[in-house]
């Protein structure tokens, strides 16, 4: 892998990741931009009743919203049209978000572009490109984890207008939080209590139990297992775990890294085959990584959670009052049935 780091016109960093050394990614950004951060007004507030951190980022109201394809800021720059990516071509590109939720010495927000092709999706990438994306996730997690203002790194992709995506180009985001996120804090507390009570690791026991029980397992390789969780919140939700527990992406072994692209692409393609619709299935794909330091890191298990808000071909799952107001989820699809559908989708070639 070759990594090239350069700067955009406003001073933000952009990194290009290439599979070969010959790529030239030094094209300058010629746009007349104000210095980065000039209009950023982010702050982290603490909910006094729940203790959760909430980010206030009012400047994001002016961020780019559903531009036409010929004005996409994530496509390569062309003569007469400069985008966020100055190079005329790229394989994978990562840059600081122009409208970040976090910044100013309190975390960082990055955009990761999986391909220059505006019309495709992650599921349509080949294994070599998917492996390069994994390399970029690993590299950015390691670099961001080393910052003094970062407590947790979160790599994720939102796909589809139904999820709320405002840019159609295939891309994800990387958030470097200055705090441990509420969901991770709850996981850590549950895992710590289990360790105190039983002496065992809850993540390992959940994975072993799903593999032994079998009815919710969707896909298995030599180094990864994908299953629908016993208490799934979303109609179709899959968790992907490496067999060897590690805290974060940089800790993955070589064999697990090599096998991941094939299994992950197969999962995404099965999601796209779930419903008889012309457009791809909307989803959220989220890497759960341990905090960069502190209690609980050694007991955490890296895993990916993939879910869709679509519950049938013509129905979406909207968060009801019980879910939005009380975080008490109600799922319309039995996890065992969802797993069976996803296994069947593997036979639809």
Q: What is the DSSP string of 4-55?
A: EEEE-TTS-EEEEEESSTT-----------PPTTTT--EEEEE-TTT--EEE
**Where does the pLDDT of residue 348 fall: very low under 50, low under 70, confident under 90, or very high at 90 and above?**
low
Least confident of 33-42, 113-122, 190-199, 205-214: 33-42
DSSP state letter for 76:
B
* Same structural domain, 54 and 171: yes
pLDDT for res 295? 86
pLDDT at 62 over 80: no
* Same structural domain, 117 and 266: no
Kindly report, residue by residue over 286-325, the tens digit of the pLDDT.
999 999 998 899 999 999 999 999 999 999 999 999 999 9
In degrees rounded to 5, what are phi and psi of residue 343? -70, -40
Domain end among 179, 210, 232: 179
* Same structural domain, 231 and 137: no
What are the CA-CA distances from residue 295 to residues 52, 106, 161, 292, 299 (Å)? Answer: 18, 21, 38, 10, 9
pLDDT for res 40? 67
Catalytic pick among 169, 171, 223, 303: 171
Q: Which domain holds residue 15?
A: 2-179
Contact between 311 and 235 under an 8 Å Cβ cutoff? The reply is yes
* Same structural domain, 198 and 168: no
* Same structural domain, 92 and 236: no
Handedness of CA 238, 239, 242, 248 (dihedral sign): positive
Domain end among 144, 179, 214: 179
Burial 50-71 (b: 16+ CB within 10 A, else e): eeebebebebbeeeeeeeeeee
Q: Which residue has the tokens 């470097």?
A: 176
* Same structural domain, 196 and 167: no
Mean pLDDT of the chain: 95
Q: What is the mean pLDDT of residues 55-62?
A: 80
Q: How many domains does the chain have?
A: 2
Transcribe 85-100 into DSSP letters: B-SS--SEEEEE-SS-
Apex CA 349: angle with CA 315 and CA 156, to 5°?
A: 55
**How many DSSP H helices and E strands does the chain contain?**
6, 15
Kindly report, residue by residue over 318-344, the tens digit of the pLDDT.
999 999 999 999 999 999 999 999 999
* Same structural domain, 77 and 219: no
Q: Which of 14, 129, 19, 21 is nearest to 82 (CA)?
A: 14
- 171 is annotated as an active-site residue: yes
Contact between 123 and 242 under an 8 Å Cβ cutoff? The reply is no
pLDDT for res 349? 47
Kindly report, residue by residue over 184-221, the tens digit of the pLDDT.
999 999 999 999 999 999 999 999 999 999 999 999 99
Strand partners, 17: 3, 92
* Same structural domain, 156 and 259: no
Strand partners, 171: 113
Domain end among 179, 200, 228: 179
* Backbone torsion region of residue 284, taken as left when φ is above 0, otherwise alpha when ψ lies between -120 and 50, otherwise beta: beta
Kindly report, residue by residue over 136-155, the tens digit of the pLDDT.
999 999 999 999 999 999 99
Least confident of 36-50, 217-231, 333-347: 36-50
Q: What is the mean pLDDT of residues 30-49?
A: 86
Q: What token pair was written down for 8?
A: 């955009």
pLDDT for res 38? 63
Model confidence, pTM: 0.96
Handedness of CA 232, 237, 243, 247 (dihedral sign): negative
pLDDT for res 218? 98
Which CATH number is 238's domain given?
3.30.428.10
């Amino acid at each position: 892998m070759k990594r090239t780091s350069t700067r955009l016109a406003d001073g933000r960093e952009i990194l290009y990741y290439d599979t070969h050394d010959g790529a030239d990614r030094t094209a300058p950004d010629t746009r007349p931009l104000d210095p980065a951060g000039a209009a950023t007004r982010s702050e982290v507030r603490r909910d006094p009743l729940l203790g959760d951190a909430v980010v206030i980022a009012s400047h994001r109201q002016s961020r780019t919203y559903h531009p036409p394809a010929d004005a996409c800021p994530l496509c390569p720059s062309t003569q007469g049209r400069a985008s966020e990516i100055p190079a005329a071509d790229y394989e994978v590109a990562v840059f600081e978000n122009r409208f970040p939720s976090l910044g100013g010495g309190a975390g960082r927000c990055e955009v990761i572009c999986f391909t220059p092709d505006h019309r495709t999706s992650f599921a349509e990438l080949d294994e070599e490109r998917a492996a390069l994306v994994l390399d970029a996730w690993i590299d950015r997690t390691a670099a961001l984890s080393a910052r003094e203002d970062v407590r947790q790194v979160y790599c994720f992709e939102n796909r589809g207008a139904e999820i709320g995506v405002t840019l159609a180009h295939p891309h994800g985001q990387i958030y470097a939080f200055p705090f441990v996120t509420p969901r991770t804090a709850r996981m850590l507390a549950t895992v710590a209590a289990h360790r105190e009570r039983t002496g065992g690791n809850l993540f390992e026991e959940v994975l072993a139990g799903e593999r032994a029980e079998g009815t919710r397992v969707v896909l298995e390789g030599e180094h990864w297992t994908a299953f629908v969780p016993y208490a799934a919140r979303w109609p179709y939700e899959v968790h992907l775990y490496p067999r060897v527990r590690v805290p974060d992406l940089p800790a993955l072994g070589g064999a697990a890294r090599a096998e991941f692209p094939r299994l992950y692409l197969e999962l995404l393609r099965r999601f796209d085959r779930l419903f008889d619709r012309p457009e791809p299935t909307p989803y959220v794909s989220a890497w759960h990584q341990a905090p960069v330091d502190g209690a609980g890191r050694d007991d955490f298990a890296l895993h990916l959670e993939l879910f869709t808000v679509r519950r049938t071909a013509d129905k979406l799952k909207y968060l009801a009052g019980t879910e939005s107001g009380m975080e008490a989820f109600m799922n319309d699809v039995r996890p065992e049935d969802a797993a069976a559908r996803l296994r069947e989708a593997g036979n639809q070639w």
